[in-house]
Amino acid sequence: MENLAAITRPILGSGKCTASLLTGELRRPCPCSNGKFEVPVSSGYICCKTCSHTLAEHDAFQHAEIPSPSQAISSHNLPLQNLQHHNLRHAENNTGTTEPTGSISTRLSRKEVVRALWQRLKEKGVVHVQGPPASGKSTLAHLLRLHVENTSEMQVVSLSWPKYFPGNFSTMARYYRLLNAITGRQLDLDDWRGKRVLLIVDEAQRSYACTSFWNDLIRFVTPGAGPCVALFSSYGSPSRCPSGRQVTTPVIFHPAQQISLRRTSINPDIGLYFSRKEYDELVHVVCLYHRQQGNEMVLPHRLTACLWDLTSGHPGAHGRSVESIVRTVWECLSYDGFVLACIASGPMRGILRSLPAENFRAKISNVSRCLAEAVVNSGLVASARFKSEIDMCYREGWLQAEHEEGGKKIYIFPSCIHQRLFEDILSRNIGPFPFDRYKSIEGLSFSILNYFDPDRLKAHSNSLLFPRRLKAYFRNAFYYEFYYACYKLFGEQKLYLASGWTGELKARRADFQVRGTRWAIEIITEEDDVDECVARFKDGGRYSGWLKSQGIQQYLILDCRTSRPDKMAGKKPVDTY
């Protein structure tokens, strides 16, 4: 197969690969006897041309067959400057490990998603994959490269679009000069549009200002002829976007070319987030790993469902984070500080790339109000009211643009963790609780009930009509309405209710804790058993440890069942203890 440039690079030989391959429940040694690496070698994370494992996973050199110049270039791969072809990981904005085998979640093949993505590329020529930081874009790009190299004769060029070009190239330079500068080719070679290659571009949002790349290459891509192009970007709605500096792709893509976090009716098999099947595979791999280490681990179905509900399929919250959370998870999820600590300094810290920096402070500003409204509405924000603020949150990766059925665009949090973290951030400066206005937990609760919206509650009471964006964060319509009504009671940006972490599945804590007080509130609906609910608060009950640790002195059980409750001795529709 013809190469784009007749460039050869020296080959570094190493010893036997020490990594292992996992197939089902079987683990076997990698068969690579001598590693081969293109030089210069910039880090131990560079991948072997034979087995794709890293240099750090190979023994020292013993003997290696020196390839001929014609063998020095893979028939599938183009030589790229600084070996970016083998390592798409962008260290400048990644605070966590970026090596593909460094996390269990990145060892999943995602073969069904990758096959569907490759098929879509062959059909459409260009595909745009867009998601916030830490959503698995670079991993999917890496898996796509491996899949095409192993199953197709098409050459693969994979690169990360740089912040600054070598030689101080202007963004107005011709596209082929920019691509040649990135890949280390002769700058004047203008043959990209005629080559049958797969071009994978990570950090593609940096290319939006390079008009020639879009007008002279992307617009001319024709399915079945010339290059296929897979674009992976951190922002850039395929359609219209809020005002501000350019965050949209210069070319408008067909919906079938748009890949985002969630699967859609047009692309039902492709999405950055794990499907439930992939998540179950991840849990299986984690448990298998611990069994091989001599630690028997089997996750109950309800616990597995709880973790799925918490992470929403987010790749950045999976992998080692699952291992971290499974340890005494039922107790740990009852404490907000546990999950916050995991994210701040534990295995989940990679997700911080899509969260505000540590010096971010929630001030009385339109951005804070926009985020507060997003928290209580699970991401649904009035775009006309917060146009520029949404633009900022979108560019920073705090909110993600999604298209619902029918073409309506909404803004959502990438996962439940993001929503809870913003709830915590925005509640830090709310001020002391106004005991002068609400002297008792009953007074507060009935004041909140006065802000219930009967029409919205009636519409949401049907579980089939309860919006999907809300189900991930709130157990039911009454739970959501109470949370939202409290926000309206205290005014914008006053998040006095600390909600649970587990959405539809509850951990070992009450539904709500009132910040600045020693009060807790539980809501029961038709699916709850009243006696079982009361038992949760008693000594030895499910909530007893949490009540003691939080110093809860009063709790209220609010009966929101739609039918009249059975007569119970000493029980009222609202009981305070």
DSSP string, 57-99: GBPPPS--PPPPTTTSS-SSB---GGGTTT----GGG--S---
Q: For the chain, which residues score pLDDT lower than 70?
A: 1-14, 20-28, 37-47, 52-57, 59-107, 166-167, 236-249, 289-297, 317-340, 342-352, 354-364, 377-385, 403-408, 459-475, 492-493, 500-507, 562-577
How far CA 440 is from CA of 97, 445, 555, in Å, comes to 49, 9, 11
Q: CA–CA separation, 116 vs 90, rounded Å?
A: 25
Q: Name the one residue in this structure whose structure tokens are 């203008």.
A: 190
The C-alpha angle 97, 279, 356, rounded to 5 degrees, equals 45
Q: Are strands 155-160 and 26-29 parallel, antiparallel or unpaired?
A: unpaired
Q: Roughly what angle, to the nearest 10 degrees, separates helices 454-461 and 477-490?
A: 160
Q: How far from 547 is each of 287, 302, 391, 405, 534, CA to CA, in Å?
A: 32, 23, 41, 42, 13
Which tokens belong to 1?
Answer: 């197969």
How do beta strands 512-514 and 519-524 pair? antiparallel
Scan for tokens 């997700």, then name that residue.
351
Q: Which residues of 137-167 are buried (b: 16+ CB within 10 A; e: fewer)?
A: bbbbbbbbbebbbeeeebbbbbbbbbeebee
- Which tokens in the block code for residue 73? 């270039």
Residue 134: other Cβ atoms inside 10 A = 27
Find tokens 């609910």 and name the residue.
533
Cβ–Cβ < 8 Å for 368, 493: yes
> Which is nearest to 96 in space by CA: 273, 346, 361?
346
Are 471 and 465 in contact, with CB atoms under 8 Å apart? no
Are the beta carbons of 500 and 509 closer than 8 angstroms?
yes
How far is it, in rounded angstroms, from Cα 124 to Cα 478?
Answer: 45
pLDDT in tens, 79-88: 433 333 333 3
Please report where in the chains the tokens 């546990």 appear, as a residue: 338
Q: What is the pLDDT of residues 390-421, one digit of tens each?
A: 778 777 778 877 766 566 677 777 777 777 77
Separation between Cα atoms, residue 337 and residue 258, nearest integer Å: 37
pLDDT, residue 47, reads 67
What is Dmax (Cα atoms) for the chain?
90
User: What span, in angstroms and rounded, lies between the C-alpha atoms of 401 and 240?
Assistant: 10
The answer, yes or no, to whether the previous bond of 40 is cis (omega within 30 of 0) is yes
Centroid of chain to Cα 119: 24
Q: Pull the structure tokens for residue 120.
A: 């879509």
pLDDT value of position 406: 62
d(Cα 192, Cα 85) in Å, to the nearest integer? 16
How far is the first Cα of the chain from the last one, in angstroms, to the nearest whole number? 78
Mapped onto helix, strand or coil, the DSSP state of residue 27 is strand
Please give the backbone phi and psi of residue 29, each rounded to the nearest 5 degrees, phi first: -65, 150
